[in-house]
């Protein structure tokens, strides 16, 4: 694109550039050139400085302020040899400056150089975008692999005393709903959904004769069961990943009690990390409402009465209140399925958390 208010200069430039095989569009005014560039961006603009209505500097400033046109290289054409004009040309985004009267060979050489540079920059940008896309894709694959490992680890632990392997999945889903009800950030809701199923991963280290016992545990057997807490925390420890750090926290503290009588750290009230307090309620709710080798499934009303009675003792009262709201509103059915949805409090839209994750 050539922009110059002198018809003779426009004609001269057109002929010279077309002889070199370039497609040329010429305009006598800056406004016309800006409108044409917006419709069909050129690869290069040769721009006069001293023009009526709008100077070349103003045209260049407007080009550079438009995200779609900012990358177009601009070569200024001017009869001025003043240093200040040249400096202003570069300050407003010009790539080069040719003084009039110009030599054809010089113009052709500079046009060819800047077109080649622009072409190379576009190729580099496309290459960078391709690399970024590859990195994003690979990162997503790594994250999916990590989540797959977590899912399988949770299932492996749960199959020790739940042949269906669904308890951990239900705890994850209930924990996410509770986190949302407590207005935790959407990212935290999703994270707790994924890691809550690992709360009992330390069961891997508990002997079957104790874990699968149908009767009441002896004191020694109960001490052996309690060891699943440090075992699970150790399995999940040492990671720099926030998701595994939360998983470790939950595994380590999900048997703490609000009144400080839980195990293994004996933490009390809000000293217990919030994700662990949430999973504690979700875990007990699901355990009560589903059958185990040593107990029947409680009706949901009976389970809620028991949990409500333990507010301020076993459980965080605020979380119990959140559970009561979810159950009474029907947002938390006992038998959750794969089509359950949760509202993301940060994004304000519905996202689906598949129980298979």
Q: How far apart are CA 183 and CA 325, in angstroms?
A: 13
pLDDT digits (tens, 9 = 90+) for 44-91: 999 999 998 899 999 999 999 998 899 999 999 888 888 888 999 999
Using alpha carbons, select from 168, 116, 78, 203 the residue that is nearest to residue 357. 168
pLDDT digits (tens, 9 = 90+) for 181-230: 999 999 999 999 989 999 988 988 888 888 878 788 899 999 999 999 99
CA 211 to chain centre: 39
Beta strands 45-48 and 96-99 are unpaired
pLDDT at res. 350: 35
Q: Boundaries of CATH 3.40.50.2300 in the chain?
A: 2-127
pLDDT digits (tens, 9 = 90+) for 107-156: 889 899 999 998 898 899 899 988 999 998 888 888 788 778 877 887 77
Q: The CATH number of 2-127 is which of 3.40.50.880, 3.50.50.60, 3.40.50.2300, 1.10.10.10?
A: 3.40.50.2300
pLDDT at res. 357: 28
Tell me: pLDDT of 344 over 70. no
Mean pLDDT of 156-165: 63
**pTM exceeding the 0.85 threshold for the entire prediction:** no
pLDDT at res. 140: 83
More confident residue, 291 or 220: 220
Tell me: pLDDT of 42 over 70. yes
Q: How far apart are CA 169 and CA 150, in angstroms?
A: 12
Return the CATH number of the domain spanning residue range 162-351: 1.10.3210.10
pLDDT digits (tens, 9 = 90+) for 260-276: 999 999 999 999 999 99
Q: Is the peptide bond before 264 cis (omega within 30 degrees of 0)?
A: yes
Q: What is the mean pLDDT of the chain?
A: 86
Beta strands 2-3 and 45-48 are parallel
Cα-based angle 231, 238, 171 (whole degrees, multiple of 5): 55
Mean pLDDT of 276-290: 95
Residue % of the chain over a pLDDT of 70: 90
pLDDT at res. 351: 34
Q: Boundaries of CATH 1.10.3210.10 in the chain?
A: 162-351
> Which segments of 47-206 does DSSP mark as H helices, in order?
56-64, 83-91, 104-158, 167-181, 186-195
Mean pLDDT of 12-17: 90
Q: How far apart are CA 257 and CA 134, in angstroms?
A: 46
């Amino acid at each position: 694109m050539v922009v110059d208010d002198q018809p003779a200069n426009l004609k001269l430039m057109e002929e010279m550039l077309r002889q070199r095989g370039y497609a040329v569009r010429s305009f006598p005014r800056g406004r016309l050139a800006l409108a044409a560039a917006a419709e069909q961006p050129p690869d290069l603009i040769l721009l006069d400085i001293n023009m009526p209505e709008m100077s070349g500097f103003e045209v260049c400033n407007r080009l550079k302020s438009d995200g779609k046109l900012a990358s177009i290289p601009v070569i200024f054409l001017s009869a001025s040899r003043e240093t200040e004009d040249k400096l202003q040309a570069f300050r407003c985004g010009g790539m080069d400056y040719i003084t009039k009267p110009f030599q054809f060979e010089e113009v052709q050489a500079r046009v060819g150089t800047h077109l080649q540079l622009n072409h190379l920059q576009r190729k580099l940008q496309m290459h960078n975008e391709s690399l970024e896309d590859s990195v994003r894709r690979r990162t997503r694959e790594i994250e999916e692999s990590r989540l797959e490992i977590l899912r399988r680890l949770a299932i492996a632990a749960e199959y020790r005393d739940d042949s269906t392997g669904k308890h951990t999945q239900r705890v994850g889903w209930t924990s996410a709903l509770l986190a949302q009800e407590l207005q935790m950030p959407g990212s935290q809701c999703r994270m707790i959904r994924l890691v809550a199923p690992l709360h009992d991963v330390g069961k891997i280290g508990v002997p079957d004769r104790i874990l699968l016992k149908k009767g009441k545990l002896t004191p020694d057997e109960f001490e052996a069961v309690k060891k699943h807490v440090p075992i699970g925390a150790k399995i999940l420890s040492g990671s720099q990943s926030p998701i595994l750090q939360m998983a470790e926290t939950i595994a380590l503290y999900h048997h703490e009690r609000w009144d400080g009588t839980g195990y293994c750290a004996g933490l009390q009230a809000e000293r217990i990390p919030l994700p662990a307090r949430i999973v504690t309620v979700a875990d007990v709710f699901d355990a009560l409402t589903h059958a185990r080798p040593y107990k029947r499934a409680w009706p949901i009303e009976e389970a809620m009465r028991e949990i409500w009675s333990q507010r301020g003792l076993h459980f965080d009262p605020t979380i119990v209140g959140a559970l009561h709201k979810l159950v009474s509103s029907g947002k938390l059915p006992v038998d959750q399925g794969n089509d359950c949805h949760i509202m993301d409090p940060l994004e304000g839209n519905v996202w689906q958390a598949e129980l298979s994750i």
